[in-house]
Structure formats: structure tokens, C-alpha cells
A and B are shown apart, each in its own frame.
Chain A
Amino acid sequence: MEKPLLEIRDYRLNFNTFDGVYHALDGVNLSVVAGQSLGIVGETGCGKSVTVRNVLGLLPSPPADVISGEILYRGKDLLRVDQKEMQRIRGSEIAMIFQDPMTYLNPVFSIGTQMVDAIMAQQKSLPREQRKNKREARQHAIAMLEKVHLPNPEKQIDRYPHELSGGMRQRVLIAMALSGAPKLLIADEPTTALDVTIQAQILDLIAELVEDMGLSVILITHDLGVVAKICDRVAVMYAGQVVEYGSVDDVFTRPRHPYTEGLLRSIPHPGRPPESLSGIPGFLPNLLSPPKGCRFFERCPKALEKCRETPPRISRPEKGAEALCHLYSEERGDA
């Protein structure tokens, strides 16, 4: 099997809050192979963003507290690299775009100033003769804006964020993230805050850039359609755990975990009557005191008696597919 570009292993993370310890992530395992794209889906609060934020060391600690695990990027553990190395990786190896384009651009600097600044910062580790000067950096910024199909980039580059629409700002943020030619792009719900038509445009753009630049992508979303469109593999997260992991085709046509089944049933389809639509009853468990057994037990239609007390382990019902569920561990008899 191909060596993964990024691999997250047994990642456990708590938040120390006034109400107690919040067990946000519990043994997350994920990997992205170079040139592939991974979708992470799940409902709000299931730990999607938290999982990826620390890839770039962006979670403030406190309150975040890494209990165990490693995030390996080309064999380097990103949870344990020093500040300088992390700064080198940010933008030029791994880049990130975020949910709300309205708040992720600095309101008091022009687009160009921010982009040029990022470009200048990202080339610090290059040898001096390869670095761009400010004028070249600005040219590069304009080229990047062109690449994300921002109309009239020579003019837009001198505008301030409040003069651009949400879709334009997300394009700017994408251009900014990709200006350091990273290998891996982490997109944290990049379309959630946008209008539906703009969403489609931005997704097309991401798909196009992935193709163009040979990027690997981690795409976080709660929109399964988006994953089906862009990703090769998908991880379904529930309450701080990856409950199912496999190729998109496989997971969407033959979901194994009852939660994935529920998720797929809750997507409306144009052709089908609305009665066929069903949600998943119940709520996410309180992660201040997570359930003893399976975290999905309370809401699971197929729950067994052992699910209440015994946490399930990862089982591999087939090659390349993983599920965190007792239903499959029993089949193989290795629970």
C-alpha cells in the first residue's frame, strides 16, 4: 500500500473546561495518501474541525490538551515539532481554508497586503536567491487570484475585505492558502457559509485546483453530496470517533455502521417522497462524561446488549473498509 502523506494515529484530545474535562477526540485514526482526497463528515460538534486544527498547531492550549497519539506528516510528528518547523510547514507544506470567509480576512489590510505578507512569510525557508521580492510576490498574488477565477484581479487586489462578497472572499482565501504551493490542503467546511450557487462554484474550483496542482485534500463537511463529488475516501465521525472509514463508493453504497446508515437516510432526494426521509432520533452524548460503551449506543437501532458496557474496537469487515462497531467484530469473532 502507498505510504500516506498524512497519518493521524490514535489521536486523543481533551478540552479542560470549567465544567470538567471534555473528551473531544477519542482514538482518531485517519490517513491521506498523496494525490488523494479524504472527506470527513459528521454532525456539528462531532470533532471534525478539532481533528484537523492541530495538524497546523492551531488549537490554543489550554484549553486543548493532547492526551495521546501522533500526527505524522512525511514521517514527522506535527504534534511534537518545534515552533519554527511548524511555521515552515504552515502554508508551504500544508495549507488550510476555513468555514466563514467573512471573518477569516483581516478587516484593516487590503487583500494584496495580506497575500503578499503570506507569500513573503512562506518563502522564509527558501535560499535567498529563490525568494521573491515584494513586487514579484504581488505578481504571484495576482496570478493566484486569477487561478481562483477572481474577476479583475489587478484591481481587486487593492480592495479591502469588506468590499468583496462572501464567494469572492472565499476565493481570495483559497488563493492565499495555495500561494505557497502546499502539498496538502485542509478545507474546513469551505462552503457552509455560502449561498447554494456559490457553494457549487467554490467546490468546482477546489476540484479543479486539486486536479491542476496535484493536491491532496482533507475536506470537512456535513454535506454528503460534496464528499461524493470530490473525495476518494471518506471518514464518518461521531462524538469524537471515526466510526466508519473507507472508499466513498463503498461507504455510500454499503454503509456498515448504523450511524452512517442513518446519515444516508437523512439526505433528501428529489425523486423520492419526503416520507422516506428519516433523521436519527436522539442527541449527541455529553462528552463531559462519555458513555461507557459505544458512544452511539443510545441512538442505535441495532444496538446489542454488549454495546452498553463495552466500547467497540475497529474491525475491518473487508479490505480497505473500517467500522467501529460490535456488529462486525462479532462476525470475525475477535472482539
Chain B
Amino acid sequence: MLSMFLKRSVLMLGMLLGLLVITFLISHVTPGDPAALAAGPDATTEMIEQIRTERGFDKPVIQQFFLYAFGILQGDFGTSIHTTHEVFDDIVAFFPATFELVVFSILIAILLGIPLGVISAVTQNSWIDNVIRIVCSSGVGLPMFWLGLMLQLYFGLQLGWFPLGGRLDLMTDPPMTITGLYLIDALLTLNFPVFLEALHHIILPAVALCFPALASIIRVNRAEMLETLTQDYIVNARAQGISVLRIIGLYALKNSILPTLALIGLRFGWMLGGTVLVESVFDWPGIGLYTVQAATASDFEPVMAATLVLGAWFMFANFLIDLLYGWMDPRVLKKG
């Protein structure tokens, strides 16, 4: 397990370096003037030239890369034009909201997706299975922002069950910052009214965000489960007198969940892309909304920083899944 951990860690460091190279190439080398981009659309020629020398855009490319990489290692992502803050500070401020939303969504997707996939497989071709499959097909097909708008219109406006957007009501003070995740902070400070309010706010965006992931988790888990249930070791387990529930919930599930895990890792990463849309629809003050606002203001450096952060997160999510895989399937460890 330790050797696998080390191997995967080294691999991830290599990939992070690759990501750095790509964001560097986009921000420094692609056609266009990086100084002009960093200075923003309204900058004068003198301001652009000042930024060029300040940020080292006049130096050779290799040197520029090292400057860039070391800057990032020190937390220097440049300055945002539209918030006038250091990009690093902005990201620290906006990231917890996104993190909270994405983790909440993936938890919904996992906690609902795996049991529903199993139920769908076990009741194959019954009406239950058919209903689940129809919902799944629509989940894979519906665009997330459209689904978000519809949820907002119906459950927010028409029925009035949920707030239209934001993390809390405008007049509510957020809980004391411990983790930056309102749900957790509210619980830690035993502030239950705020906890319920935060929960109330997160449900619609989380549902919109998790739906495609939920649908694909159900589909993959159903297919894997069906396949696993025909395996010889399931027949043997039955012949040993082991109960049906235990066979489905343990013997089959532990085998069929492995491919689903890989999917969860991918989906967890993709959700970050999804947050750009969902956060815009639900006015959720996270990295996605921040990036969209930066992009529309031609504020270049926050966009690059967000790309880097989201890319790193994607890798980290898959790194975790890899480790989980090794823990679940003894055959993986053997291969390293």
C-alpha cells in the first residue's frame, strides 16, 4: 500500500508539472501579448509596458517559466482586475463555497446512485428498473444549466420551496469561519438555524450539479452489478447458504463498485467544470462564478489561476480514487 501511495504521488507530481506547463503556455506563449492580457482591456500603453517589465514578460521563455512556477509555488497568481485583490486571496475566499457544493453533490450522487443502481439491477426489466433507467437517460442527456433553470423556476419560483440562489439569505450572517464550509461551520458552532438555512440553499444547486453524475453512476453500477451477479463466485456463495441480501450487498457490490469508483473520480473532477454553469445560475459565490465574472471582464489572471486550481483538484480526486481502489481490490496492490 505504501509503495503504491508513493508511486501514485510521484505520478501526480509529474502531472501537476504538466498542468503548470500548459497553463504557462496558454498565458505566456500563445499568440497575443501577455502583458496586455494581464493589464486588462482598459490599460494604457505605459501600464502595459510597466507590467511587462514588472512581471518579466520581456525575459526569455524558459526564464519566464521558472518565474511563473516559483511565483505559483509562493501563491502568486497575479492580481485580479475586477476584484482588485490578489488572485490567491480571491481563490481562498471563493474556493470553500465551490468545495462545499461539489462535495455535497458528489455525496448525493454516490449515496443515491449506488443503491439505485443495485435496485435497478436486482429488479431488472421490472417497472422500477424502467423508471430508474428513464430518469438516468434524461440525466445523461439534459444540460446542467437548463436543469438548474428549470429547478429554479419550478421549485424556487412556482412552489416557493427553495430559495433562488446564494449560500444564505441576504440578511443572515454566515457562521464563524472555521473551514469555510457553511454547513460544517454551522454544525461546529452549534448554530442550527444557519445550518438548516445553508442546507436549504444548497439543495437545488447540488441537485442540478449532481444529476448527470448520479445518472451515470446508476447506469454503470447497474451494468456492473448485472454482470457480477452472473459470476461463478456468486453461484458458489449461494450454494454455501449465504443470504440473498448479503450476496447482493456485499459479495456482488464490492466487485461491481470498483468500476463505479473510477467513474466517481472522473465525475468528481467534471463537476468542477459544471460548477461554472451551476454557480452562475444559482448565484453561488464560488470559483465558478468568480471565473465567469473574471472572464466576462477580460480579467485574465484569475481565469488561469482557476484553471490551475481546478486541474489540480481533478488530479487529486483521481489520486484519492486510485488509493481507494488499491484498498478495495487486493489484485491492484499486487500490480502496484
Choose, from A30-38, A97-105, A145-153, A235-243, the stretch at the interface: A97-105
Residues of A within 8 A of B (CB): 56, 58, 83, 87-92, 95-96, 98, 100, 103-110, 114, 117-118, 121-122, 124, 160, 162, 173, 176-177, 180
- In the complex, A83→B243 CA distance in Å? 10
- In the complex, A298→B200 CA distance in Å? 76
Could you say which of A92, A104, A160 contacts B233, with CB atoms under 8 Å apart?
Answer: A104
State how many angstroms separate the Cβ of B123 from the closest Cβ of chain A: 14
On chain B, the residues within 8 Å of A108 by CB distance are: 254-255, 258, 328-331
4 closest A-B pairs by beta carbon, nearest first, are A90-B241, A91-B241, A118-B240, A103-B232
State how many angstroms separate the Cβ of A77 from the closest Cβ of chain B: 19
Q: Is the CB of A104 within 8 A of B236?
A: yes
Q: Is the CB of B254 within 8 A of A90?
A: no
On chain B, the residues within 8 Å of A92 by CB distance are: 241
| CB contact under 8 A between A107 and B233, given known A87-B243, A92-B241, A162-B331 | yes
Q: Closest A-chain residue to B238, C-beta based? A: A58
Q: Apart from A87-B241, A96-B236, A176-B236, what 14 extra A-B contacts exist at CB < 8 Å?
A: A56-B239, A58-B238, A88-B241, A91-B239, A98-B236, A104-B233, A104-B235, A106-B254, A107-B330, A109-B254, A110-B330, A121-B242, A173-B236, A180-B240
Q: Is the CB of A106 within 8 A of B241?
A: no
Q: Is the CB of B241 within 8 A of A122?
A: yes
| CB contact under 8 A between A100 and B232, given known A106-B251, A109-B254, A162-B334 | yes
- In the complex, A56→B240 CA distance in Å? 10
Q: Is the CB of B255 within 8 A of A106?
A: yes
Most A CB contacts (10 A, CB to CB) among B235, B244, B254, B331 go to B235
Residues of B within 8 A of A (CB): 231-233, 235-244, 246, 251, 254-255, 258, 328-331, 334
- In the complex, A16→B236 CA distance in Å? 24
Could you say which of A95, A100, A107 contacts B239, with CB atoms under 8 Å apart?
Answer: A95
| CB contact under 8 A between A160 and B330, given known A103-B231, A105-B236, A108-B255 | yes
State how many angstroms separate the Cβ of A127 from the closest Cβ of chain B: 17
- In the complex, A114→B236 CA distance in Å? 10
Q: Is the CB of A177 within 8 A of B240?
A: yes
On chain A, the residues within 8 Å of B254 by CB distance are: 106, 108-109
Question: Can you report 26 residue pairs joining A to B where beta carbons are below 8 Å apart?
Answer: A56-B239, A58-B235, A58-B239, A87-B243, A88-B241, A89-B241, A90-B238, A90-B240, A92-B241, A96-B239, A98-B236, A104-B232, A104-B235, A105-B233, A105-B236, A106-B251, A107-B255, A108-B255, A108-B329, A108-B331, A118-B237, A118-B240, A118-B242, A121-B246, A160-B330, A177-B239
- In the complex, A203→B328 CA distance in Å? 35
Q: Closest B-chain residue to A84, C-beta based? A: B243
On chain A, the residues within 8 Å of B241 by CB distance are: 87-92, 118, 121-122, 124, 180
| CB contact under 8 A between A98 and B243, given known A106-B251, A108-B330, A162-B334 | no
Could you say which of B232, B328, B330 contacts A98, with CB atoms under 8 Å apart?
Answer: B232
On chain B, the residues within 8 Å of A104 by CB distance are: 232-233, 235-236
- In the complex, A56→B235 CA distance in Å? 10
Q: Is the CB of A122 within 8 A of B330?
A: no
State how many angstroms separate the Cβ of A196 from the closest Cβ of chain B: 23
On chain B, the residues within 8 Å of A173 by CB distance are: 236
- In the complex, A120→B237 CA distance in Å? 12
